[in-house]
Structure 1
């Protein structure tokens, strides 16, 4: 049973090697309830503001086995862009592992992975789950029956994929061929691109019991059709801004929610765009990345983060069977 009180939050970077696929280094940012020293100061997340995370702080020593949420970032994004989400859940007792997808993140991005080997994303998350459960320290802190997944954009698509939605192999091959045949992509990359849907099949991870998908996409472009979406058996919460022009709701979130059997759709009204799910930006972020940091007039990112975080917490609590001590 998790306590009702809100906890301070720690964060630590983890790296391990995938021994199967060429020794790929896999990274994730682990965010957790912490007991920082009284003199500790929050770590400054690059380009972000209004965060309170303590780097490498000791985990809260209450011996509780905690629910685990895996997080998949958007195409070419990274874990640190979404630490507000990890902080919100961790402050309420969750462990949150936020992946840096191999060669598909801000710091190391290649069309080979971002646009061809999409199936590597759910596989990364499954490997991260195994790594955490087998870890001598963190494994003992996790309730293996309370694992969920969340993600944004291509990461939202990944969360549905892990939850059991399936791609249509013929449509997925068509998508791969678009990039394989794109002469603007350097030849050495196109030579490495496969036209093969087999690795993209059967990626359901049975350990994952619920999925929270933020502005998922490109649902149909990547090859998920009605039949494939109907195969998702776990609960899904799909949330998107009504003004999203990157993953338009009608063709993505609304389409997915229409066919996933146990899906709840939440369309945030107004001119709420794709980047609302990113951190609040500091001045450096606003100056250098206005497209990701500037919201439409009347859109309050801080208030929406509170709404989104609360929705995620209530969804995961309900669908992972999380019990909390009553508030005194």
Structure 2
């Protein structure tokens, strides 16, 4: 964080922070959304960062995350931000069809309604026309994207006066959950990452794509893979179906000092090993662990549009993107996840 060099600025900043009020939005309040460009030296390009926030009035109506497969989530483009100081949630998405920030609008918009500012970079190479197996497997770049996003939020003219930066947390889903753990202090073991796709035992879908793309993880430059990506400004981490948990050094997990909430989607015994968070929850000193047994890993996607499952099958997507655990609808499961996340971050940050 940049140091203030003028005592006058310091005094004014203290005074303004004392006047900040936490403004918990209620259902029916507006949610604004903006996209900002954040420079990344390591990526050599700007990151597209989506920011959702409590708004005082409706902006231009938009639907975020809408695709041939998934229903979009309404928000107000450039809506006027509400007054007050809000906790900040940094959000990290997974890879594949939901591998972009706006695909997680289904959870970001309700969190903004409940009085959080949510900022999510789209991790380059993880989705869309520019999807790259090599870039996706550079897992150590993802937490760097989060740190660059936080740096930018501290300087963003529209947002910096509305964020209580001492109340900052990170939420990650799927590969984003691994990113959240890395930001909290977990370190990748380069040897484990190199051998991750030697067989299909850990992640057949991902590793089949990696091999078909001609990527040899053993031949990748992994010299930076085991670096420390811990960002001490972040005081709470929550990871839902974090992936891949098999590549972390267990000793580094035991040194994580902030509270961590871990959630798995599915029945114990049926959760893929690369997603299982119960064992690492036993290693992290201040961790909680829970499951949503009638959900699936694909419950993290937005609601499917009619016919989406058939389109996915015809396009040989391979993954059952519209399948949940059976019983409840995806909308109902989303409601539980949103309530769980909002409660966790309220306890930790508010």
TM-score, length basis structure 2:
0.79
Query: Match for residue 244 of structure 2?
Result: 218
SS in 2 for 1:316: helix
SS in 1 for 2:118: strand
Superposed displacement of residue 281, structure 1: 2.1
User: Does residue 231 of the first structure (1) align with residue 255 of the second (2)?
Assistant: yes
- Cα RMSD of the aligned pairs, angstroms, is 2.8
Query: Match for residue 17 of structure 2?
Result: none
> In the alignment, is the contact (CA less than 8 A) between 1:112 and 1:193 conserved in 2?
no
Q: 1:266 to 1:22 in 2, by over 3 A?
A: closer
Gaps of 5+ in 2: 1-21, 200-206, 314-319
Superposed displacement of residue 248, structure 1: 1.8
Q: 1:287 to 1:30 in 2, by over 3 A?
A: farther
Q: 1-side partners of 2:293 and 2:270: how far apart?
A: 16
SS in 2 for 1:21: coil
User: Does residue 267 of the first structure (1) align with residue 288 of the second (2)?
Assistant: no
Q: 2-side partners of 1:294 and 1:177: how far apart?
A: 28
The correspondence for 1:83, drawn from 105, 109, 122, is: 105
Superposed displacement of residue 287, structure 1: 4.5
TM-score, length basis structure 1:
0.84
After superposition, residues 1-328 of structure 1 pair within 5 angstroms as 1-3=22-24, 5-6=26-27, 7-18=29-40, 20-21=41-42, 23-37=44-58, 41-43=61-63, 45-47=65-67, 48-49=70-71, 51-60=73-82, 62=83, 64-76=84-96, 77-115=99-137, 117-175=138-196, 184-186=212-214, 194-220=220-246, 223-243=247-267, 248=272, 252-270=276-294, 272-283=295-306, 285-289=308-312, 291-320=320-349, 322=350
Q: 2-side partners of 1:183 and 1:277: how far apart?
A: 25
Query: Match for residue 325 of structure 1?
Result: none
Q: 1:218 to 1:191 in 2, by over 3 A?
A: closer
SS in 1 for 2:115: coil
Count of aligned residue pairs for this structure pair: 309
Q: 1:58 to 1:284 in 2, by over 3 A?
A: farther
> In the alignment, is the contact (CA less than 8 A) between 1:244 and 1:273 conserved in 2?
no
Q: 1:300 to 1:201 in 2, by over 3 A?
A: same
Gaps of 5+ in 1: 323-328
Q: 2-side partners of 1:311 and 1:191: how far apart?
A: 36
Superposed displacement of residue 88, structure 1: 1.3
Q: 2-side partners of 1:197 and 1:142: how far apart?
A: 36
Q: 2-side partners of 1:170 and 1:139: how far apart?
A: 40
